[in-house]
Amino acid sequence: MPSSAVGNNRVYQDQDHENEVDDVAFLTGDREHQQAAANRAATYEKPIIASCTPKQAIIVLIVVIASSFLISIIIAFARPIGCQYPEFIPPPLPKGYRLRKPSANYLTTTGEAYPWKDIRLPKFIRPLKYRIQIRPNLTTRALKGQMGITFYVTEETNFIILHSRNLTINEYLLRDVRGKELTIRRSHECIELQQIYLETRGSLFPYQNYTLGIRFDGNLTESLEGVYMSKYTNSKNRTRFLAVTHFEPTYARAAFPCFDEPHLKAKFKISIIRHRDHFALSNMPLEKTEDVGFFLERGLLQDHFQETVQMSTYLVAFVVCDFSKITNKTSRGVSVSVYAPPDQITQASFALDVATKVMDFYEDFFGVPYPLPKLDLVAVPDFGAGAMENWGLVTYREAAILVDPEQTSTKSQQYVAIVIAHELAHQWFGNLVTMDWWNELWLNEGFASFLEYKAVNSIIGNWRMMDQFILEKTQTALALDELSTSHPVSVSVDDPSEIESIFDAISYNKGASILYMLEGVLGEEIFKQGLTNYLETNKYLNTVSDNFWECLSIAARNSSNDVHVKTIMDTWTQQMGFPLIYISRDEKIVHVKQEMFPSIFRNSNDPERPNSTWKVPVSFVTSIDPTREFHLWLNGSSVDFEVPDSVVWFKMNSKQSGFYRVMYEESLWAQLTDILLKNHTSLSAADRASLLDDAFTLNRVGILNVSTPLLMLKYLEKERDHVPWATALRHLNYLQQILSLRKAKENLVCFIQKLITPVYNELGWKLRTKHVEKLLQEEILSAAVKIGMVPAISQATKLFQQWRGAKTPISPDLREIVYSTGIRYGDKSDWDTTWKKLQESKISSEKRLLLKALGSAMDPWLIQRYLEFTLDQNKIRSQDIRTVVDSVAQNSPGNLLTWRFVKLNWNKLLNVEGGIHSIGPIVNAATSRMATNLELSEVEAFFSKADVGHGHRLLDQSLETIRNNIFWLEKSEDLLGNWIKSNTMC
């Protein structure tokens, strides 16, 4: 099929598909082969020969001019069909954000002024097709390749600009559609912009195909980016190597020169040269394999893969490995395979089953077939992210895909299912339809983060995933978005460092939460129809948020639900933060008012931080029938509504489905607290959780007395649902951490012990059968150990010693608690034994638990040694550094040691982790529990001199968290201690 590209509202067909050569010869030391290869690649398209008489030429010229005029008229008055907008005019940037201004000082590698001044590529260059031949050498770690890029321009130009990073370009060859070679008069590379500038002697003319041939060299990295090396140890204790790619967001340019922006989609024809002991995978199925050992090196084969569909560069992928696989088919016949090291392939069955069912669910839910013939999922030993959605070749960290039914906990199995569903959602949202630029990242990640829960909830209903959605998505997003250093869902970003900084809870979790809220407004059927329209209308294209809003509006109008989605949702995506809804009652009249949530350090009078308003879909339930939801719109600053006299109480934001918090007047808080204490099941589990979440958060920012959430907590003695308990324990854990060296800590611990004792006695250590009951048991046992309950510590220590002596296996759902308790209350020999078991384990989920447990040691020497292990990749893989540092930082003795370690090893961590954005979570782990002005001054002083690149937002968020901690202690610590002493036996 011919490929096409869209430019200036014109569709230009790929004219060269029949004339391109089948391969691009690899550069080798064999001169005869080089010559033969050069002859084969002498032209990328066969010359087109034509002749005509002068009269014919005049006629043709007249026809061309008339046709051009007619086409221009058509273009001027044409309107798109379906639900695409005719043109997207970018909204103004949120106040406080500014576009990066072009620098006039970009230099080439030779020290000259670089001719192009923009970090973005020119808009007039459009790639059509890449033919890439690449050899990742697993012995020498060299990367060699050559390629041809067929492209066209939409305006006359004499230069081309594309991306390249850490590659050595050996040769360029530019030809036009007739095969005529065009002279490249000069070339420049700018390291800072990661760009190559090629200037031609003559002009390139609009809407003609050109092919740029490039030969290049590079290296396999160890940074978990671009094309990198990974390794594992097999059953014979031999180290085996593999090559893996990770290109999101801007690392495709580190593998091959390319137009590395998401809207510059093209087709890819990929060939991989590898040793016969390995095999290669790529986005598309294998087309053929040929022996190239005679020309290159003995034992080498070349795999040719089918041409891809139109796609973005960041989704291109390949793997060279010696893994094993298992395969299944979807109901429509799409081949689904899971690849893993041979010794671990038995752990792939759960993932294969989930992936196959999720694919069927998505095809039915979206009403759009998966467009590729196969889907591979690969377990990668070294992987920086949790997973990556490369089209047709999804890569995963081992712990995010491998499950041993006898060894993997319920929580870990749920995590695997969620990650798989997330990446498969991207096959539609992100891959088939792609955001136009990274400022719309949420169109990828927000959708996948929402749909992952719907998919798993559908295929495994008894897991109650939509109840857990508010725990993992809504509450975590609200916690970040309350900071004055947050950012809008759609935020301007330019260079790669800025792009990486928005892969956070705003793009993922807030994006998911506002979609969940919107689905509640429209209804699932209208929402589904909007999704289908959006995918069908924009498949293989790039979009902005407005495209989606219009599709939903059309679906709503077709169902007689006249909701102008854009008007509503722009208020949620174009400005940071969220509303705080104030509720008061005057007999029958309920007053509803909104203000911007009052982050502690946001100045409402600052013109850069306006007191914004939102279009808020307010939901609520009442005492008359707590199962029936009511809805109203808050379109301005306030609205009133009337309730019957018989309504005793009402709870706003039903099931925490809206992305806002609620502040009730004192009498209404008292009513809701009374309901929790006397008859908590009158409210749903999600409503109970949201009340606790709102109350604790409102206390933290200083507008609700701490006595309100503390009194609410007393009802937990009767609570047996996972979601409210998980919410409460998250807030209580925060209080324990910042009170770790304070006088109120003892009162708080005593209070928590009294709360959890009834449920601890009921659940105990007996194995549970229900999924959500297992999750609750793990929460309660973990909390019991952390607050020093002697029976819990004794039982966990006993089980640890039995495990250490290899006498009794531990249930997977109890292991994390047992391991961490054994280390915390054990000695050096316990630590060393556990470390040895970590080295020997072949179960990814088990290794992750052991990594976390080893950070629980109380001995400062053991803690320091463990932190130093992270600087040695032979001990701790770079992907696991964050896990280690975070586990150590959660210990009282480990917190300050972690900060000291980060300071002393800042530059090393930057190099290991690949930059400030990768170690952002490390900085957060080391500082988020600080709560004194002295600590704040120390962190500020360090980072005033440290290289943080474009990571200022991450740093500012860490500093704001410390200030928030200090604020809470000054305002509420004494009140908390006094209330507990007055209202309990503590």
Three-state secondary structure string covering 523-584: CHHHHHHHHHHHHHHHCCCEECHHHHHHHHHHHHHHCCCCCCHHHHHHHHHCCCCCEEEEEE
Active site residue 156: no
Give the angle subtended at the CA of 208 by the CAs of 204 and 211, to the nearest 5°: 75
**CA distance linking residue 779 with residue 798, whole number of Å:** 19
Element (H, E) at 287: strand 286-291
Q: Which residue from 252, 219, 258, 249 is spatially nearest to 318, judged by alpha carbons?
A: 252
**CA distance linking residue 398 with residue 381, whole number of Å:** 6
What residues contact residue 764 under an 8 Å CB cut-off, 6+ apart?
none
Give the angle subtended at the CA of 749 by the CAs of 745 and 755, to the nearest 5°: 145
**CA distance linking residue 196 with residue 566, whole number of Å:** 39
Q: Which residue from 780, 726, 775, 790 is spatially nearest to 758, judged by alpha carbons?
A: 780
Q: How are strands ordered across the β-sheet holding 226-233?
A: 226-233, 239-246, 318-321, 279-282
What residues contact residue 901 under an 8 Å CB cut-off, 6+ apart?
864, 867, 868, 885, 926
Q: What is the DSSP letter of 780?
A: H
Q: What is the DSSP letter of 154?
A: S
**CA distance linking residue 53 with residue 393, whole number of Å:** 54
Beta bridge partners of 76: none
**CA distance linking residue 629 with residue 649, whole number of Å:** 14
What residues contact residue 703 under an 8 Å CB cut-off, 6+ apart?
598, 663
**CA distance linking residue 309 with residue 500, whole number of Å:** 26
Locate tokens 């309350």: which residue? 482
Helix 952-983 and helix 722-738: axis angle, to 10°? 100
Rg of the chain on CA atoms, in Å: 30
Three-state secondary structure string covering 665-682: CHHHHHHHHHHHHHHHHH
**CA distance linking residue 461 with residue 465, whole number of Å:** 8
- Could you tell me the sign of the dihedral formed by the alpha carbons of 125, 127, 131, 137, in that order? positive
Q: Are 317 and 283 in contact (CB under 8 A)?
A: yes
Q: Are 492 and 438 in contact (CB under 8 A)?
A: no
- Does residue 699 sit in helix, strand or coil? helix
Give the angle subtended at the CA of 338 by the CAs of 333 and 340, to the nearest 5°: 160
Beta bridge partners of 329: 335
Look at the chain and count its residues: 986
User: 307, 389, 398, 423: which one is catalytic?
Assistant: 423
- Could you tell me the sign of the dihedral formed by the alpha carbons of 241, 242, 247, 252, in that order? positive
Give the angle subtended at the CA of 439 by the CAs of 438 and 441, to the nearest 5°: 60
**CA distance linking residue 395 with residue 572, whole number of Å:** 32
Amino acid at 237: N
Count CB atoms within 10 A of the CB of residue 707.
Answer: 18
What residues contact residue 679 under an 8 Å CB cut-off, 6+ apart?
none
Q: Are 162 and 172 in contact (CB under 8 A)?
A: no
Which residues are the active-site residues? 423
